[in-house]
Amino acid sequence: MDTSTVVSRRSLLGGAGAAALALTTFGCSGKSDSGYGQAKGNVPDKYAKRTRVVLWSAYSGTPGTTLSALAQKFNDSQDEVYVEVQFQGTYDQASQKTAAAVQAKQIPDLVTFSEVTWHRFYLNDLLEPLDGYFTGDFAKSVYQQQLLSEGVLKGKTWWLPFARSTPLFYYNKTLFAKAGLPDRGPADWDEWYGWSKQLKGLQASGKQVKMECYQKVDGDWQFQGSVWQWGGSYSDGLTVTINKPEAVAAAEWQRKLIFDDKMAYMADSPTTDFSNQLVATMVTSTGSLSTAVAAAKKGGWEVGTAFVPAKARQVVPTGGGGLSIMRYATSKRKKAAFAFIKFLADPANAAYWCVKTGYMPAVGEAVNDPQLATLLKANPNYNVAVQQLAKVRKEDEVRLMVPNSNVMIYTGLQKIWSDNAPVQGVFDDVASQLTKATGQVKAQIEKHV
Amino acid sequence: MASLDAATARGTTKGTRGGTTVESTRSGRGRGTPARRRRRYPEYLLFLAFIAPNFLFVLVFAYWPVIYNGYLSLTDWNMLAPTKDLVGLANYRDLFTDPDFLATLRQTVVFVVGVVVGSMVLGLATALLLNQRLVGRRFVRTMAFAPHVLSGAAIGTLWLFIFDPNYGLIRPLLAPLGLTSPPWMTSSRWALPGLIIVYLWKSTGFIAIVYLAGLQNLPRDLYESAALDGAGSWRLFRKITLPLLSPVTFFLFLTTIISAFQAFDVIALMTEGGPGTSTTTLSWFIYQRAFVASDAGHAAAAAMIMFVLLVAMTALQARFLERRVHYR
């Protein structure tokens, strides 16, 4: 045996110790002064010397590929910053992973939070106020002001609008024509109810067509609009009001449609069922428009959109996602992350995002960009979402700020939609849960809002 | 066994090291001269060095999380705040007075009993069938085992399609019987039975293969003797097969209970604990409280309750069921 190749126990242990030290040093190398490192990833060689920004995205499918394309365009447009988009699942999953990352002290720099989840990080002082990053050539005024205001608390901007949406009323023009209904959205829910009687018995592809369906998970967002339309609310400030008569009446309306009129049901995905012509109408996110249009084209039928019908009021909630920068990223990375936010807010890029995904234009000037202007002109359905912006309202405080409140509400709704449970009893129970949960975070909210 | 017992009785153990039989006197171990002890000291260090990586691995990844979880169960913490407030046993008190948690425990029991009993019975029946000389037996065995190697996400997606009341595969199967497919995953009445069916499908193949291995190791002479004495197939099964398979049954019973308690992936994909809370089992409850509600304290307390339940059930099974196991 060649003794020169024999590794002694001592040299092995010494080597292992040196390797451990090297790994520790390497592991600490990306940490900021606050002790937070950056989420790991891969940087292509040609971008290796740039400031790396990790963006945790909640977008898959078309929005996911569109965001990646924009990041690629940004990376190729300059030579200082490299944005690495890392898909982290739904908004809830991205939020959960960000919470875990905070515990592991290895965080992303930029995160796409939903209108609900960003509050969780704001209330725990984990977000960076963004006002100081705006400069002369990029002012906050570029954003649609109603949408921008939803990310402002205590006079500071924490969350910038990006993939914003509202519930929109969709209808199957072809089925409407077969049932002898007019080619427009109903003025109010009572007119819609009359139409449901006319549509009863209609079949498509051998299946009985229903008037609408309710989204099993996260359906409390659409129902927020229903409660307002009936004159109620989930909460008044931090006082829970979901068990008041107006909110109860809104849910009772839906319960009756399911179990008495047999014209509605609870579905895993209303968009899928609408695309398969199982329902003639649906109220869901503007972000579903491209999916519905594509399905209609493939199936040989036509989609129409309209404002969500009124009852006592005509109003819809905003929803969707925005961008926040994590407070404990290094200053260099925070500046680099904001450079990408600025890039996304460029009207041409914002318009590209809207055209590809169907989300509402969060940047005012985007609607004048030729690509979006052409689409809005050619396809009136996209224009309806933009026009409905005049009817939007920020969601009730308890749903936005109290952890798990959305789950409590949609779990209650599921009991009504699937079990025919008495509405008042369910909502009394939900109100009690919401009040208890609000009590646990009230001091924290009052300190921050 | 007899020779080992005899050796142990003499205080002597035998083994082989490097191909040479070595003998050591137990009574003499640890004694000897100081010089001899000094010579052995590096051997202990070497022993510690060898076990240290595995020992540390088990300590860090198995025991430490349990201990830390026990600590978290006594705190009020939202998973983001820098501090955790100690609240004593308040989280446990909250859970045992929460109707939703008590309903979760009931649903967990229904789910576990359904999955364990169903998959054990179906697994044994499948194994008995696969043990016959049938055409295409190998192909059928592979097909029976296949669901076990599929990921929960694939299984969930597949069964969402099968259960779809409008387009699902189950619909044409029920139609000739004059039955319509219920809204499996959007109905509180059907969602839990639906999940049990999915888990039965997922776990039966594995149980069947393990039972099959057990069946193929049973001594043929016993069957031949009993058959000569006039025992019929049912008697052979009841008096020979089942008792001789009892070690396998014991192992499968333990592991299936533990995996049924921990079932999560398919629930996450198919029902998310709903409709309402009708399919919320302990594992989903823990996930929901921790990561959706940001309530680490109650989640940790529920996890400790699940841990204690599993340990208690395992201990009870070892204490009472193992007595009835026939090890050959």
Q: What is the largest CA-CA distance in chain B?
A: 88
Is 50 exceeded by the pLDDT of residue A251? yes
> Residue B223 is part of which domain span?
98-324
| Residue A358 confidence (pLDDT) | 85
Residue type, B231: A
Nearest residue on chain A to B293, judged by CA atoms? A404
Chain A residues with CB-CB distance to B188 below 8 A: 414-415, 418-419
Chain A residues with CB-CB distance to B186 below 8 A: 216, 265-268, 418
CA B279 to CA B288: how far, in whole Å?
A: 12
CA A253 to CA A255: how far, in whole Å?
A: 6
Kindly state whether residue B39 falls inside one of the protein's structural domains. Answer: no
| Residue A33 confidence (pLDDT) | 60
E strand or H helix at A236: strand A235-236
Residue B326's Cβ-side half-sphere holds a number of Cα atoms within 13 Å equal to 11
More confident residue, A367 or B5: A367
* DSSP assignment letter at A286: G
Kindly state whether residue B47 falls inside one of the protein's structural domains. Answer: no
Kindly state whether residue B78 falls inside one of the protein's structural domains. Answer: no
Is 50 exceeded by the pLDDT of residue A5? no
pLDDT tens readout for residues A106-140: 999 999 999 999 999 999 999 999 999 999 899 99
Chain A residues with CB-CB distance to B277 below 8 A: 411
pLDDT more than 90, % of chain A = 83
Calculate mean pLDDT across residues A268-282: 95
pLDDT tens readout for residues A156-169: 999 999 999 999 99
pLDDT tens readout for residues A187-197: 999 999 999 99
Report mean pLDDT in 10-residue bins for chain B, 328 residues. 39 40 44 70 88 92 94 95 94 96 96 97 94 83 88 93 89 88 91 96 94 92 90 91 93 93 94 94 96 94 96 87 68
Calculate mean pLDDT across residues A423-444: 95
CA A291 to CA A275: how far, in whole Å?
A: 8
CA B298 to CA B301: how far, in whole Å?
A: 5
Chain A residues with CB-CB distance to B295 below 8 A: 403-404
Calculate mean pLDDT across residues A239-245: 98
Kindly state whether residue B180 falls inside one of the protein's structural domains. Answer: yes
| Residue B185 confidence (pLDDT) | 92
A12-16, A202-206, A388-392 — which is least confidently predicted?
Answer: A12-16
Kindly state whether residue B38 falls inside one of the protein's structural domains. Answer: no
- Domains annotated for chain A, with CATH where assigned, are 37-165+319-391 (3.40.190.10), 167-317+402-448 (3.40.190.10)
Contact A130, A157 (CB under 8 A): yes
| Residue B51 confidence (pLDDT) | 93
Give the residue from B50, B72, B188 with the most A CB atoms within 10 Å of its CB, the best one to mutate. B188
**Stretch 139-178 of chain B: residues touching chain A, C-beta under 8 Å:** 160, 166-167
Give B126: exposed, middle or buried? Use CB within 10 Å, 0-12, 13-18, 19+: buried
Kindly state whether residue B91 falls inside one of the protein's structural domains. Answer: no
Tokens representing residue A359 in the block: 């989300």
Is 60 exceeded by the pLDDT of residue A19? no
CA A158 to CA A167: how far, in whole Å?
A: 24
Nearest residue on chain B to A103, judged by CA atoms? B80
Tokens representing residue A123 in the block: 């209330």
Kindly state whether residue B260 falls inside one of the protein's structural domains. Answer: yes
E strand or H helix at A240: strand A239-240
| Residue A206 confidence (pLDDT) | 84
Chain B residues with CB-CB distance to A265 below 8 A: 183, 186
Calculate mean pLDDT across residues A240-262: 98
Chain A residues with CB-CB distance to B293 below 8 A: 403-404, 407, 437
A230-239, A391-400, B223-232, B260-269 — which is least confidently predicted?
Answer: B223-232
CA A309 to CA A97: how far, in whole Å?
A: 37
Q: Phi-psi category of B273—alpha, beta or left, where left has phi over 0 and alpha has psi -120 to 50?
A: left
CA A349 to CA A363: how far, in whole Å?
A: 10
A181-190, A212-221, B215-224 — which is least confidently predicted?
Answer: B215-224
Residue B70 CA to its chain's centroid (Å): 22
- ipTM, interface predicted TM-score of the complex: 0.83
CA B37 to CA B34: how far, in whole Å?
A: 5
Of B80, B167, B295, the CB nearest to A102: B80
User: What is the distance in angstroms between the Cα of B83 and the nearest Cα belonging to chain A?
Assistant: 11
Kindly state whether residue B21 falls inside one of the protein's structural domains. Answer: no
Is 50 exceeded by the pLDDT of residue A340? yes
A94-98, A351-355, B170-174, B268-272 — which is least confidently predicted?
Answer: B170-174
Residue A422 touches chain B, beta carbons under 8 Å: no
**Stretch 207-226 of chain A: residues touching chain B, C-beta under 8 Å:** 207, 216-217
| Residue B320 confidence (pLDDT) | 79
Read out DSSP for A45-60?
GGGTTSEEEEEEE---
Chain A residues with CB-CB distance to B287 below 8 A: none
Contact A417 B274 (CB under 8 A): no
Give the residue from A418, A434, A442, A448 with the most B CB atoms within 10 Å of its CB, the best one to mutate. A418
Domain count, chain B: 1
Tokens representing residue A166 in the block: 């509202």
Average pLDDT of chain A, as a whole number: 91
Tokens representing residue A111 in the block: 């995160």
pLDDT tens readout for residues A23-69: 443 344 455 567 899 999 989 999 999 999 999 999 998 899 999 99
pLDDT tens readout for residues A302-316: 999 999 999 999 999
Residue A11 touches chain B, beta carbons under 8 Å: no
Work out the number of other CB atoms within 10 angstroms of the CB of residue A304.
Answer: 19
CATH number, residue B228: 1.10.3720.10
Contact B276 A217 (CB under 8 A): no
